[in-house]
Amino acid sequence: MADEVVVETETQEQRSARAREIMSRLRRMYPDARCSLNFSTPHELLVATVLSAQCTDERVNQVTATLFKKYRSPQDFAIADLAELEQDIKSTGFYRNKAKLVRDGARTIVERFHGEVPRTMAELTKIPGAARKTANVVLGNAYGVVDGVVVDTHVGRVSRRLELTSNEDPVKVEQDLMRLLPQEDWLAFSHCVIYHGRAICQARKPLCEQCDLLDLCPTGQATLALATDGVSESKAKDASRNSRARTRK
CA nearest to 134, candidates 33, 52, 36: 52
Reported as a single tens digit per residue, the pLDDT across 78-98 is 999 999 999 999 999 999 999
Tell me what pLDDT residue 132 has: 96
CA distances from 54 to 59, 92, 132, 144, 150 (A): 11, 8, 16, 25, 16
Tell me what pLDDT residue 242 has: 54
Tell me what pLDDT residue 5 has: 42
User: What gap in Å lies between CA 148 and CA 90, rounded to an integer?
Assistant: 31
User: Cβ atoms within 10 A of the Cβ of 144, count?
Assistant: 9
Beta bridge partners of 248: 4
Question: Does 93 reside within a domain?
Answer: yes
CA nearest to 189, candidates 224, 156, 222: 156
Question: How many residues are given for the chain?
Answer: 249
- Secondary structure (3-state) at 70: helix
82, amino acid identity: L
CATH code of the domain in which 85 resides: 1.10.340.30
Question: Does 22 reside within a domain?
Answer: no
Question: Does 52 reside within a domain?
Answer: yes
The answer for residues whose C-beta is within 8 angstroms of residue 202's C-beta and 6 or more apart is none
Residue 9's Cα: distance from chain center in Å?
27
Tell me what pLDDT residue 87 has: 98
Domain hosting 49: range is 42-143
Question: Does 55 reside within a domain?
Answer: yes
Catalytic residues: 133, 152
Structural contact between residues 72 and 39, judged by C-beta atoms closer than 8 angstroms: no
CA nearest to 52, candidates 42, 39, 37: 37
Q: How many domains does the chain have?
A: 1
CA nearest to 43, candidates 15, 66, 73, 16: 73
Residues of the chain with pLDDT under 50: 1-7, 243-249
